[in-house]
Chain A
Amino acid sequence: MRKIIDWIEHRTGLETAVRNFLYEDIPASSGWHQIIGSAAVFFFIIQVFTGGLLAFNFAPTPGDSYNSVRYIMTELTGGRLIRGLHHWGASMMLIIVVLHMLQVFLYGAYKKPREATWMIGCVLLLITLVFGLTGYLLPWDNRAYWGTVVTANITGSAPVLGPYLTRLLGSEMGVSRVTFSRFYALHTILLPPLVIILIGIHIYLVRKHGVAPAVGDTAPRRKFFPEQVFKDTVGVAFAFIILFTLAVVADAPLGRLADPTDTAFTPRPEWYFLFLFQTIKFFKGPLEVVGAVVLPGVAVLTLFLVPFIDRGPMVRLGKRTFAFGIAILGILAWSSLTTAAVLTTPPNPEENGLAATSESETSIQAWQHLSPPELQGLALFRKENCKACHPGGGKQGIGPDLTKLPADHRNAAWLVPHFQNPSKVVPGSSMPPVQLKDAELNALSAFVLKLTPDNEGSIMSAPDYVVQGALVYQDNHCNSCHQVAGVGQKLGPALDGVGERHDRAWLEQHFRDPQGTSKGTIMPPYKFSAEDMDALCKYLLQLPKAS
């Protein structure tokens, strides 16, 4: 063994290099507060490792990326764990990086001659945030897509540079495949080497100037290894246990495939951006750019300039009152903004893209079994914003859980009068009357009666195009001749599974000229607006076969 090491040492000098690195002198005052930086490096390594593993099975185009993430989560053994490590690792990495920065800030270790180290650290923080941002889009579920739409809009609102940034993001027509490719390239190809180089420079600079000693520390210096390395390892092990536990018990989220036409979805960024999301709400109209770009820009610039703002000599931690004040203020501001964001943003319906069986292309979702009147009911439910008081998903709302209605309420005879005049049917109710026509109230009640705790999540997440299509179907009284899901008349053929028999072009032609397309039919021609035709065709084409 010794001979092999000697051979390597003689050819490369590796043993000496490692020895010099490990036996670096550090101040006697070094301690537990300085382990956070190593934890950050360690988490970066974990992200690269798990990210690389994910990239082995990831399809880098929008839409297909979603399928591949599903595949990783449900069909590959260990896939759920690897993705979990990567997802929770990203959040933990950000926390650790911020804690590291906080420690350096409080101790004043950014002061001369360590200003360059600090500024590179600031760049590293920003890049960590960009990693989070770019990675967020890649699964291409509703959460990813819509969160990025907001980010792209904010970027586009930047003064002067806005339009150029939009072009760089490929988002002139909204978040697009180009945006996806650029985010993927940044996340996997461009930023990793950049970060590795910057971490290298950062560590080099720490070594060059030495770990910052506490004020007045003149005690004999100690060696980095093994004592400080031991403390680093304890920190790393502790953080890793937390990460691994999270990855095992909590699924990394995967909602439903992104639907750019779904205007009902509330965009949310990742949790660490919620404070910014909330700040923007205070600045309405033309002032929005102040909250979205100017304030954050000023904050980041100030962060960079900290070593030039605070030029005084290093003082004891206990005397850093102003620094502590700023830090506490910052933490309070961030926490309250984040909490406000969480409390005030309406939740989205539970979107669990993993709930379906692994045959995602062939499995039938619960909402696909709804008849056209029931889907019309869902459209009305959304339009009337019933979920404001009946949030569903087991959550406590002002109104009762609609999946658990008592038996005597589970019929149209009770529900329709209740919609028309709630406080008369349920004395003391604060529910406002539902102002809809009778046929619409019937559809709404048919919909409500369909809900069970098991299918609620799927039904509530029925894509918008399906619901709109069902509305066109209902408005044109298609069920006076046709049947869907057992509802309707039998004058014309049942439409279940029509997508397996005919394609879009055939359907459109059939609406325009039924006699020419289907000889002998009594179906009259229909003139639809482009929007209605689109919605109706999409709705019909996804109808599952009759079970």
Chain B
Amino acid sequence: MEETHSHEPAVELSPTRRNFYILFINGAMGLIGIALAIPAAIYLLFPPKARKASQWVKTADLSSLPAGKPTEIAFQRTRADGWQLITEKTTAWVVKQSNNDVVAFMPNCTHLGCAYHWDDASHTFICPCHTSYFSIDGKVLGGPAPRPLDRYAVKIDSGVLEIGPPEAHA
């Protein structure tokens, strides 16, 4: 290195002045860091504001559903996928006990999300991945599932079953 690292004594700063400089440098850069880090964290971690994707979907006529027997129905729903509204086909296990008592279970096992199915012979929902099994009203009968089957909100409008957003799980 040429002219820079001379070994003549450089001008000395008074300790108070020096400390003031160092304090200011650390303080200002610290504040700037926080002013950038906090918005960045919020931006990355807060969920996006809810979009009004169509919440309720008309699915099947109630009369077409057999009473007491779970039926898997498929329907189209729109949901927000980032900046797009996408229409996707999805399913629900619907159990109609009576015209006033209809439940729609979300199709994923509450353990790790595999698609379970209804087994007539054992009169239970069975998940093939880790053999969790559930009763007709969704309660865990065995296996590693941590909670009962999740449900969609449902409503009945002029004899037609409407499926809505997922209900918060217990």
* Chain B residue, CB-CB nearest to A362: B85
Residues in B with CB closer than 8 Å to A230 are 21, 24-25
Interface residues of B in 1-21 (CB under 8 A from A): 1-6, 8-11, 13, 18, 21
Instruction: Report how far A210 CA is from B43 CA in the complex, Å.
Output: 41
Instruction: Given the known inter-chain contacts A24-B4, A25-B5, A226-B25, please indicate yes or no for A359 contacting B51, CB distance below 8 A.
Output: yes
Instruction: Report how far A24 CA is from B36 CA in the complex, Å.
Output: 29
- Say whether A76 contacts B18, CB under 8 Å: no
Q: Interface digits, A334-361 against B, CB 8 Å rule (1 contact, 0 not)?
A: 0000000000000000000000001101
Residues in B with CB closer than 8 Å to A244 are 35
A28 is an interface residue with CB less than 8 A from chain B: yes
Q: Interface digits, A61-94 against B, CB 8 Å rule (1 contact, 0 not)?
A: 0001001101100111111011001000000000
Instruction: Given the known inter-chain contacts A230-B21, A230-B25, A237-B28, please indicate yes or no for A56 contacting B10, CB distance below 8 A.
Output: no
Residues in B with CB closer than 8 Å to A308 are none
- Say whether A227 contacts B21, CB under 8 Å: yes
* Chain A residue, CB-CB nearest to B20: A230
B168 is an interface residue with CB less than 8 A from chain A: no
Which of A171-179, A216-224, A262-270, A395-403 is near enough to bind chain B?
Answer: A216-224
Residues in A with CB closer than 8 Å to B28 are 233-234, 236-237
Interface residues of B in 39-86 (CB under 8 A from A): 39-40, 42-44, 46, 48-49, 51-52, 82-85
Residues in A with CB closer than 8 Å to B10 are 25, 220-223
A240 is an interface residue with CB less than 8 A from chain B: yes
* Chain B residue, CB-CB nearest to A52: B40
B170 is an interface residue with CB less than 8 A from chain A: no
Instruction: Report how far A233 CA is from B31 CA in the complex, Å.
Output: 12
Instruction: Given the known inter-chain contacts A67-B84, A230-B25, please indicate yes or no for A76 contacting B46, CB distance below 8 A.
Output: yes
Instruction: Given the known inter-chain contacts A67-B83, A233-B25, please indicate yes or no for A210 contacting B42, CB distance below 8 A.
Output: no
Instruction: Report how far A76 CA is from B44 CA in the complex, Å.
Output: 9
Nearest-Cβ distance from residue B54 to partner chain A, whole angstroms: 9
Instruction: Report how far A244 CA is from B35 CA in the complex, Å.
Output: 9
Instruction: Report how far A76 CA is from B45 CA in the complex, Å.
Output: 10
Instruction: Report how far A25 CA is from B99 CA in the complex, Å.
Output: 87
Instruction: Report how far A208 CA is from B2 CA in the complex, Å.
Output: 7
B22 is an interface residue with CB less than 8 A from chain A: yes
Instruction: Report how far A59 CA is from B44 CA in the complex, Å.
Output: 16
B121 is an interface residue with CB less than 8 A from chain A: no
Instruction: Report how far A24 CA is from B18 CA in the complex, Å.
Output: 16
Q: In the complex, which of the residues B6, B18, B39 contacts A25, with contact meaning CB atoms closer than 8 Å?
A: B6
- Say whether A78 contacts B46, CB under 8 Å: yes
A49 is an interface residue with CB less than 8 A from chain B: yes
Instruction: Report how far A230 CA is from B18 CA in the complex, Å.
Output: 10
A207 is an interface residue with CB less than 8 A from chain B: yes
Instruction: Report how far A359 CA is from B83 CA in the complex, Å.
Output: 10
Instruction: Given the known inter-chain contacts A25-B4, A210-B4, please indicate yes or no for A78 contacting B25, CB distance below 8 A.
Output: no
Interface residues of A in 124-176 (CB under 8 A from B): none
Instruction: Report how far A74 CA is from B46 CA in the complex, Å.
Output: 13
- Say whether B3 contacts A210, CB under 8 Å: yes
Nearest-Cβ distance from residue A418 to partner chain B, whole angstroms: 44
Residues in A with CB closer than 8 Å to B83 are 57, 59, 64, 67-68, 70-71, 75
Instruction: Report how far A82 CA is from B22 CA in the complex, Å.
Output: 29
Q: In the complex, which of the residues B6, B22, B32 contacts A221, with contact meaning CB atoms closer than 8 Å?
A: B6
Interface residues of A in 223-272 (CB under 8 A from B): 223, 226-227, 229-230, 233-234, 236-237, 240, 244
Q: In the complex, which of the residues A57, A209, A229, A358 contacts B51, with contact meaning CB atoms closer than 8 Å?
A: A358
Instruction: Report how far A332 CA is from B115 CA in the complex, Å.
Output: 71
* Chain A residue, CB-CB nearest to B83: A71
Residues in B with CB closer than 8 Å to A57 are 82-83
A533 is an interface residue with CB less than 8 A from chain B: no
* Chain A residue, CB-CB nearest to B5: A25
Instruction: Report how far A207 CA is from B25 CA in the complex, Å.
Output: 21
Q: Which of B40, B42, B83 lies at the interface centre, i.e. has the most chain A CB atoms within 10 A of its CB?
A: B83
Q: In the complex, which of the residues B5, B8, B24, B42 contacts A220, with contact meaning CB atoms closer than 8 Å?
A: B8
Instruction: Report how far A77 CA is from B42 CA in the complex, Å.
Output: 7
A53 is an interface residue with CB less than 8 A from chain B: yes
Residues in B with CB closer than 8 Å to A53 are 40, 43-44
* Chain B residue, CB-CB nearest to A59: B83
A46 is an interface residue with CB less than 8 A from chain B: yes
Q: Which of B18, B44, B48, B85 lies at the interface centre, i.e. has the most chain A CB atoms within 10 A of its CB?
A: B48
A-B contact pairs, 19 of them (CB 8 A): A25-B6, A49-B40, A59-B82, A59-B83, A64-B83, A71-B82, A77-B42, A78-B43, A81-B43, A82-B39, A85-B36, A208-B1, A210-B2, A220-B10, A233-B29, A237-B28, A237-B32, A358-B51, A359-B85
Q: Closest 7 A-B residue pairs measured CB to CB?
A: A71-B83, A78-B43, A226-B21, A230-B21, A67-B83, A78-B42, A77-B46
Chain A residues with CB under 8 Å of chain B are: 24-26, 28, 46, 49, 53, 56-57, 59, 64, 67-68, 70-71, 74-79, 81-82, 85, 207-210, 219-223, 226-227, 229-230, 233-234, 236-237, 240, 244, 358-359, 361-362
